[in-house]
Each structure stands twice: as C-alpha cells, then as structure tokens.
C-alpha cells in the first residue's frame, strides 16, 4: 500500500472511530436506525478488527498516531474499556490484538 493510500486509510479509520466513541459520537443520532442498519457498536467492532489486523505493521501504527485531525489516545483507551465491559463484542483474540495495538500507540 502506498504512503498516500495508507495515510488516507488511517485517517478514515481514525475519523470513523472518533465519530463512534468520542463525545461527538454520543450526540450522533439516526431516526429509525434499523431502517438504515445503523448499529454503532457493530461498526465500532468492525473498526477494532481493522486496527487489530493492521496493527502488526509498524508503518500503519506510525501513521495512526500522527493523524492530526482524528487521532485521540482517549478514544482507543475508551474502546478497550468498552470491550472489557462487553459493550463492544469482538472475539477474544481480536480484543487482545487491539489492546496490544493500543499499547504501541
């Protein structure tokens, strides 16, 4: 993956995570969420899976933390807490990989 594509990918992931778990995300409302298949917990779980799989690549980790617009350490800490409290459901190995990834950041 080129550096430009990697940067865009990382920025998109960070932005989506920020929208789902930050204070802004709590204000995010959709009328008739089932009609639009809007399930924030599932979306966040999918984002966690992406970070977990890509977290093995140092270049990816490095790009995540330099995103000036959307990288916020507290978002990652919050997601780890939500996973541990079973509010976001992901397989155990994905949860471990995500926590390991978060510690690298």
Per the CB < 8 A criterion, the answer to whether 67 and 11 are in contact is yes
54-75 pLDDT, tens digit per residue, is: 999 999 999 999 998 999 999 9
Per the CB < 8 A criterion, the answer to whether 53 and 96 are in contact is no
Distances (CA, A) of 69 to 18, 65, 96: 10, 10, 26
Domain boundaries, given as residue ranges, for the chain? 3-104
Give mean pLDDT, residues 24-51. Answer: 85
Distances (CA, A) of 66 to 14, 25, 90: 11, 22, 26
Distances (CA, A) of 101 to 10, 31, 49: 14, 34, 11
Question: Among 5-9, 11-15, 28-32, which stretch is predicted with the lowest mean pLDDT?
Answer: 28-32
Q: How many CA atoms lie within 13 A of 72 on its CB side?
A: 16
């Amino acid at each position: 993956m080129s550096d430009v594509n990697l940067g865009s990918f990382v920025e998109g992931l960070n932005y989506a995570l920020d929208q789902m778990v930050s204070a802004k995300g709590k204000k995010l409302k959709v009328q008739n969420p089932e009609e639009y298949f809007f399930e924030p917990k599932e979306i966040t779980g999918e984002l966690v899976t992406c970070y977990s799989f890509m977290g093995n690549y140092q270049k990816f980790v490095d790009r995540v933390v330099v995103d000036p617009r959307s990288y916020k350490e507290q978002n990652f800490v919050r997601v780890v807490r939500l996973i541990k409290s079973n509010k976001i459901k992901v397989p155990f190995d994905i949860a471990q990989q995500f926590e390991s990834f978060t510690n690298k950041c």
